Structure 1
């Protein structure tokens, strides 16, 4: 199962549209994951219409319309792995232990909020992934998103994609 992970799109506040390289990847993904901070419902509509399957949550910058359509936490079994998606996980310091204690039933937790790409494994084996942001790099050198493969109870081919400057 090919996964496409993104977060913190902040449209149209930070950019007018999702970058073309990211949009080009959507048809190849079996599942698109968005870890919140959409800002506009049009981006949700776009991903719902273009993706085979969408697993998504709302973020702290999402208003009532998006909060009515999206949960705070989403879960799914994908390729033999138990996935969770949430927007905020708190400060970077202590994140692994905090998330492992909060989500003992997960194998992989996708999160957003910081706009900082993250890929670590907590004691006990919980994999934490943050794809960064494809539209608002903040203090990062690039806008980013992730792709990965989930199959046979393993997460492989985790790749951080750097987007060209706008």
Structure 2
């Protein structure tokens, strides 16, 4: 199973369409996960054209997106438990990653997906994959745009980032 993982699309402000590099992967996806800051439901509609699309709302999403997705979600694909949260929150007590981990405190996950920072992250902590796909349309201070690909098979998960220079 191939899952395309995105976050922080901020469309249509940051791009009028999904980037070509992302579109190539969406065409062969079995599922899509968006970790918030869609900013418009048209992004969901565009992604859902390719595969079942799951996600959460971010701090830049309106009431319609919050109602549709909520702020935290757990999914299971072929026995792999995945948590999704945007990672935003009040105050500076914790950084984005710490807030994302805290959102699933005492819940067993195989992987945690978060966004908000636009900084790609791919690491393991206490046996759990911690993954931020970055942004396919708003790299901010990052050198490249990015999103992720998860391959799930027989209860195991392999993740990678796709990095690219041109968001058109």
By the TM > 0.5 criterion, same fold? yes
Structure 2: runs of 5 or more not aligned = 89-93
CA contact (8 A) 2:4 2:25 kept: yes
CA contact (8 A) 1:145 1:160 kept: yes
Q: Within 5 Å, which residues of 2 pair with 1:2-151?
A: 2-48=2-48, 50-88=49-87, 90-91=94-95, 95=98, 98-99=101-102, 102-123=105-126, 125-151=127-153
Deviations 1:89-147 (A, max 9, x none): 65157x39944961532111111000000011112x12110000000000100010011
Deviations 1:4-54 (A, max 9, x none): 000000001112221011012112111101000001111111112x23211
Distance change >3 Å, CA 44–CA 6, structure 1 → 2: same
How many aligned positions are there?
162
Structure 1: runs of 5 or more not aligned = none
Q: State TM-score, norm by structure 1.
A: 0.89
Structure 1 residue matching 2:27: 3-state secondary structure: helix
Distance in 2, matches of 1:61 and 1:100, equals: 19
Deviations 1:62-92 (A, max 9, x none): 0111112112111111122111111016515
Q: State TM-score, norm by structure 2.
A: 0.88
Structure 2 residue matching 1:147: 3-state secondary structure: strand
Distance change >3 Å, CA 29–CA 122, structure 1 → 2: same
Distance in 1, matches of 2:61 and 2:46, equals: 16
User: What is the alpha-carbon root mean square deviation over aligned residues?
Assistant: 2.1
Distance change >3 Å, CA 97–CA 139, structure 1 → 2: closer
Cα deviation for residue 165 of structure 1 reads 2.6
CA contact (8 A) 2:135 2:146 kept: yes
